[in-house]
Structure 1
Amino acid sequence: MTAPLTGLDPGVIDPGAVEDLISSDASLRRFLHGLPGVDQVGVEARSAALATRSVKTTAKARAIDLAVRMIDLTTLEGADTPGKVRSLCAKARRPDPADPTTPQVAAVCVYPDLVPVAVEALDGSPVQVASVATAFPAGRAALPVKLADTADAVAAGAHEVDMVIDRGAFLSGRYLHVYDEIRAVKDVCAGAHLKVILETGELATYDNVRRASWLAMLAGGDFIKTSTGKVSPAATLPVTLVMLEAVRDYREATGRQVGVKPAGGIRTTKDALRHLVQVGETAGEDWLDPRWFRLGASSLLNDLLMQRAKAASGRYSGPDYVSLD
């Protein structure tokens, strides 16, 4: 685990203080490397202990519905078609056609060129349209290309943008470069929410995860996200725990709340409930809301729907109960 920040009262990191932090690479590095270190053994033990918590009966039913409401239903494949996106949007609007009480998901996440299809298919529904951008998933492109990618998605109607950080720049210590890119993308987003993907599987250490989380938040990210789903490991419970500690400490220091989105490898109801337990026990109940916590997934919804049906009927449904995405 990480030790709580000391000497940082709410509001102490105001806009003026941020300007001082980003005045040079040296000052930003000094701040990020001055954050309390992560105890690897402690964070993994804490995460494992929370994973043993049991959620049953009525509480489990509520948690399953909450998990459904938190899903960013995602398709990010080179073979994606308008038809597949329309089908996914129909599922987002009515996850279980046999049960109209099933809540809708939070968002549908697609590539920028398919945003207009999703916007049309979700018209009139509260389901948001999210788009990956900034040369997803590698992020290996010049800044003007990344900004154009983002601008195209926003112009097409995306409510949310998921960007990837330059991991090469981050790992070589060019923190100000990473900050400036996030800030520039945030400016292009206009009213769209910005989720900053850290690609934690490439960051090597929990300390780096914590530093990248703070860097993304200082630059104005509305969410910090674990992964693209294209790199293994993706959303592990210990990594998510470190990020939840970061958003908790950041709000204590600045008064601004930032969301968290684990993505990649979350496939079962048990996986989802373990993440929700971590949210409540680490960041607090304020984050147990789709506005502040999301689950990036493609196959998770089907398992949640089958578990939800089992709770209602007392028996498991057959494999043809849910649609294949």
Structure 2
Amino acid sequence: MERNIETATAQPPSVPRLPVMPLDLDWVASVQANTSAIERRCATLPGRRSVKKEYQAAWLLKAISLMDLTTLSGDDTQNRVRRLCAKARQPVRADLLAALDMKGLTTGAICVYHDMIETAVDALKGTDIPVAAVSTGFPAGLSPLHLRIAEIRESVAAGAHEIDIVISRRHVLSGNWQALYYEMKAFREACGDAHVKAILATGELGSLRNVARASLVCMMAGADFIKTSTGKESVNATLPVSLVMIRAIREFHERTGYMVGYKPAGGISKAKDALVYLALIKDELGTRWLQPDLFRFGASSLLGDIERQLEHHITGAYSASYRHAMG
């Protein structure tokens, strides 16, 4: 990984929004995934990509700016969401940011259930931090289609800037790509101006080939982002799945000219793992994808570990995790 990075607050020119495109079943059928080659590539990545000292600190600050700080628990309260929003505004202790000469750092977004949208919007008033809401019968996505579409519209009306939808896994497992396309297209239309992230729940799709094909179909149907997981599956974001989805994004961009975002979610809790994902994105897609409009981490505990690593960089000592609470 090269030893420089844009500041976490840099704002690149916005990319044109992906339009809904016709379903190309020939393209979908041609997509394959060489599992053994993918796994070999991913197994060597952590050992071949590393950064140290101030360069590592810069990349960790970048990771914070790409984070969807998330709370999706049954016991969520308004006070918990407000504390999380305060953490999004000030993700790292002020003394650490001062030592790093970093100003204006925030997380990429806050991600909550529908009932907490208004609370999050109010708590983030005066900032540019968007509110994302999970929708469409999250996490299983098995409620009736008209109710899932209505849920999207309700969340947009409540103030959500981004909607994280879940696809129907059965469409992928049965190879019913037309059904997946029309479902995703309906979700995109319901979102209106709000950007939509398509959660594939890759741990439940059966094969990497299914992951690749589902990624392509969702992009054809207008997904602004494709996302690995809900965080509720037994297997969430992995490097092999990420490589497959990233290469689908790269091929889609090469053939259509449109850039689609990527969001790994679930299971990324260590700073060193975040660095590996950033390296993978830079290698496969390039530096432009290392911005919040094209890449996000779906995480919460990851921020605490990054803050600990930044304190170690500054002081030379590790602090207890309780000193870096989420709220």
Question: Is TM > 0.5 for Structure 1 vs Structure 2?
Answer: yes
The answer for the alignment partner of 2:62 in structure 1 is 66
- 1:184 maps to amino acid: A
Name the structure 1 match of 2:29. Answer: 33
* TM-score, normalised via structure 1 length: 0.90
Contact 2:197 2:223 in 1 (8 A): yes
Q: Return the offset for 1:276.
A: 0.5
Residue 169 of structure 1 corresponds to 171
Q: Provide the rounded CA distance (Å) in 1 between the counterparts of 2:56 and 2:38.
A: 25
Query: How far 1:96 moved relative to its partner?
Result: 2.4
Distance in 1, matches of 2:293 and 2:314, equals 27
> Displacement of 1:141 after TM fit?
1.4
**Aligned residue type for 1:262:** P
Matching residue of 2:214: 212
Is residue 50 of structure 2 the alignment partner of residue 57 of structure 1? no
Between 1:222-231 and 1:99-108, the stretch displaced more is 99-108
Q: CA deviation at 1:97?
A: 3.5
Segments of structure 1 that go 5 or more residues without pairing to the other structure are 1-13, 22-27
Determine if contact 2:19/2:222 at 8 Å carries over to the other structure.
no
Structure 2 residue corresponding to 1:308, chosen from 301, 307, 310:
310
Deviates more, 1:72-81 or 1:313-322: 313-322
Counterpart position of 1:4: none
Measure the CA separation in 2 of the matches of 1:39 and 1:169.
22
Determine which of 75, 85, 88 is the counterpart of 1:79. 75
For 2:75 and 2:316, the matched residues in 1 are separated by 38
For 2:311 and 2:93, how far apart are their aligned partners in 1? 12
The Cα shift of 1:306 comes to 0.8
Instruction: Give yes or no for the alignment of 1:89 onto 2:91.
Output: no
1:195 deviates by 0.3
Select which of 285, 288, 304 maps to 1:286: 288
Of the candidates 104, 107, 122, which is equivalent to residue 105 of structure 1? 107
| CA distance in structure 2 between the aligned counterparts of 1:319 and 1:49, rounded to whole angstroms | 30
State the Cα deviation string for residues 139-185 of structure 1 (Å, max 9, x = none). Answer: 00111101111011100100100000000122112211111111111
Q: Tell me the SS of whatever aligns to 1:130.
A: strand
Alpha-carbon spacing, 1:15–1:139, altered in 2? closer, same or farther (3 Å): closer
The separation in 2 between residues aligned to 1:222 and 1:268, in whole angstroms, is 27
Cα RMSD of the aligned pairs, angstroms, is: 1.6
Q: 1:138 to 1:20 in 2, by over 3 A?
A: closer
Residue type at the aligned position of 1:90? A
TM-score normalised by the chain length of structure 2 = 0.89
Structure 1 residues 49-58 or 86-95, which shifts more? 49-58
What is the percentage of aligned positions where both structures have the same residue? 46
Q: Give the whole-Å Cα distance in 2 for the aligned partners of 1:178 and 1:38.
A: 20
- 1:285/1:92 Cα in 2 relative to 1: closer, same or farther (>3 Å)? same
User: Higher mean Cα deviation, 180-189 or 315-324?
Assistant: 315-324
Matches of 1:124 and 1:261 in 2, distance apart? Answer: 26
The 10-residue stretch of structure 1 (281-290 or 61-70) with the greater mean CA deviation from structure 2 = 281-290
* Aligned-pair CA distance for 1:318: 2.5
